[in-house]
Amino acid sequence: MIEANESQPLRLLTVTAHPHDVTYTLGTSAHHIERGDSVTVVSLSDGVTTHDEELEDEMRKPASERRAEILQRPRSEQAIRKQGELEGVCALFGIEDARVLPFPDNPLEPSSSKILSELTDVLHEIRPHIVITHAPYNYPYKNMTSLWDNDHSLAGQLVARAMQRAAQADAGRGRSPLHVAQVYYIGAEFGWTDIDLFVDISDQVARRIEAEALYETQGHTSEFSRKRIEAFAGYHGWFGRTGYAEAFIRERAQTSDYLTVTPNDLSSATQTGRETLDRIGQFESGRADGDAR
Ligand SMILES: [Zn+2]
């Protein structure tokens, strides 16, 4: 449960590996912005290597048919397009501060002192109460743990190291120590039994579909975008006993004077079977664009 604090707006910082990864958190961020909290989004990389569908398609052609303008396109040109996509997507949900750090992806450089230093600067600048990022570990595959880190778990590790740095008093630069109150890992790549919190984003689904379709550099069509949100947000909504949800895993247990129970949990406990079916059975894809706003 994310405790509302009426007297103090919360500062959220979302740090992802690539510009697209933020999508799994946007409905949640919109709810925070609606109640007066602030949200900053940082992608650690430009995301150009992971998704360059145009280049892939071009390289599948016979050498004589490949177009020079695609093959020789500078990385910076694609990076600017992807940054524009991130900013446009964040703006849909009211997020005005969306940044892309100028580092390559796939692989992210795990020992990069430059990434760590820039990220530590961002932590000191924003001084977030809540950080949302990737888990610094891999999901087990066939009960085995992968020793090969992908960009997402590497990003989670970089964020953990930057938070460790920011927590130390830095007299030389006049920085007071920063202790982040809670860290939420993006749960999209994990099974539902690993999830600690489902945020009901049923009111944000039309926007999530719209956002997904804005990633033109990844080749997203409106049909693909609908399917993706139905499959991912619909899957987590199913297990969160609602239409659509975003899933999070807490870095550590909460401390409270009381046991926590959310208004959503209390409402679910008292609703009729019919109401439960209606809530879970919300179906965004059948509606026209924008109808669910
Ligand atoms: Zn990614």
18 Cα: distance to centroid of ligand 1 (angstroms):
5
- 290 or 280, which is more confident: 280
Cα 20 to averaged position of ligand 1 atoms, centre (Å)? 6
How much distance in Å is there from the Cα of 151 to the middle of ligand 1?
7
CA of 23 to the centre of ligand 1 (A): 10
pLDDT of residue 292: 44
Point out which residues pair with 170 in neighbouring strands.
175
Q: Is residue 149 part of a domain?
A: yes
In angstroms, rounded to a whole number, what is the distance separating the alpha carbons of residues 126 and 114?
A: 18
pTM for the predicted model, two decimal places: 0.91
1 assigned to some structural domain:
no
Question: Is 113 within a domain?
Answer: yes
Q: Is residue 289 part of a domain?
A: no
* Contacts (Cβ under 8 Å, ≥6 apart) of 45: 17, 18, 100, 101, 103, 104, 105, 106, 108, 151
| Cα 158 to averaged position of ligand 1 atoms, centre (Å) | 14
- 212, part of any domain: yes
Q: What is the DSSP letter of 144?
A: B
- Say yes or no to pLDDT of 288 above 50: no
CA of 107 relative to ligand 1 center, distance in Å: 11
- Please state the rounded mean pLDDT for residues 270-285: 86
Tell me which H or E stretch contains 132. Answer: strand 130-133
Spacing, Cα 110 to ligand 1 middle (Å):
15
What domain range includes position 70?
11-280
Under DSSP, the state recorded for 209 is H
The CATH number linked to 137 is 3.40.50.10320
Residue 7 has what pLDDT?
Answer: 67
Interval 199-212: pLDDT, tens: 999 999 999 999 99
C-alpha of residue 21 to centroid of ligand 1, in Å: 5
Q: Considering its fold, how many domains does the chain have in total?
A: 1
**Centre of ligand 1 from the C-alpha of residue 138, in Å:** 13
Cα–ligand 1 centroid distance for 100 (angstroms): 13
Q: Compute the chain's Rg from CA coordinates.
A: 20
Give residue 52's pLDDT band: very low, low, confident or very high (50, 70, 90): confident
Question: Within a domain: residue 154?
Answer: yes
Q: 217 pLDDT band (50/70/90 cuts)? A: confident
pLDDT reported for residue 291 = 46
Residue 251 is assigned to a structural domain of this protein? yes
Per the domain annotation, does 265 fall within a domain? yes
| Distance from Cα 26 to the centre of ligand 1, integer Å | 15
How many angstroms does the Cα of residue 169 sit away from the middle of ligand 1? 32
Please report the DSSP string for 182-200 in residue order: EEEEE-TTS-GGG-SEEEE
